Amino acid sequence: MFSGIIETLGTVRAQTPAQLEVVPETPLARLETGESIAVNGVCLTVSSASDDGFTADVMPETLHRTTLGALTDGATVNLERALRLGDRVGGHMVSGHVDGTGIVTALREDANARWVTIATPEDLIDLIAEKGSIAVDGISLTVVDVFEGAFTVSLIPVTLAATVAGGWRVATAVNLEVDLIARYVARTLAARDRGAVFATLAREG
């Protein structure tokens, strides 16, 4: 489990279809094999660790559902280690299980903030709420507005400086994880609706 507060940036040193090697800008003390780490919001398991970086295995499903497959050597990524019990949660509860990808469609400067509009898959947009939380490339953000097929966020200077969000441009693909509560409420309601349909069919059958 993560909080969406990025710990440090990292640089991709090597990328293959099945493995990712990353060098953190700030060393991650006592990083161990088997530990979970979020890379651009994707929960990966450390397969090996050294003083200057780590390697993580990447499954085909992960490559299919996220932007990790498009990373190239030298790319910059967000890094966050898993929370420990008792840690302060400054963002919101993030699982690192990406729901899908979105595309940055517009950027607008507004005094010290930057507004970003992100086009979103149809199956996710109903799970995104105005003033609710969302993780974009692993960054815990507050949704400003929700439209048909898109939503906006407003980024403060520290977020722009400390995360990959500062490098987002129009057409940038980003990882999206909707709020956990929204995800499970939607699943519960869908299950209830299916149960009601089955009960009706049983009565009529």
* Residue 198 lies inside a defined structural domain of this protein: no
* Residue 44 lies inside a defined structural domain of this protein: yes
Residue 201: pLDDT over 60:
no
CATH for 63: 2.40.30.20
- Tell which residue, 48, 52, 58, has the closest CA to residue 16: 58
pLDDT digits (tens, 9 = 90+) for 75-93: 999 999 999 877 777 889 9
Alpha carbon 91 to its chain centroid, in Å, reads 13
Clarify whether residues 126 and 158 are in a common domain: yes
Clarify whether residues 121 and 169 are in a common domain: yes
* Residue 86 lies inside a defined structural domain of this protein: no
Q: How many domains does the chain have?
A: 2
Clarify whether residues 107 and 44 are in a common domain: no
Give the span between the Cα atoms of 75 and 94, in whole angstroms: 23
* Residue 87 lies inside a defined structural domain of this protein: no
Clarify whether residues 72 and 129 are in a common domain: no
**Residue 198 pLDDT grade (very low, low, confident, very high; cuts 50, 70, 90):** very low
Give the span between the Cα atoms of 153 and 146, in whole angstroms: 9
pLDDT digits (tens, 9 = 90+) for 136-182: 999 999 999 999 999 999 999 999 999 999 999 999 999 999 998 87
Give the span between the Cα atoms of 16 and 2, in whole angstroms: 25
* Residue 199 lies inside a defined structural domain of this protein: no
* Residue 89 lies inside a defined structural domain of this protein: no
Write the DSSP assignment of 183-202 as a string of letters: HHHHHHHHHHHHHHHHHHHH
At residue 34, the pLDDT reads 95
* Residue 138 lies inside a defined structural domain of this protein: yes
Domain extent at residue 31: 8-81
Clarify whether residues 14 and 54 are in a common domain: yes
Do the Cβ atoms of 132 and 143 come closer than 8 Å? yes
- How large is the average pLDDT for residues 176-200? 70
Do the Cβ atoms of 78 and 137 come closer than 8 Å? yes
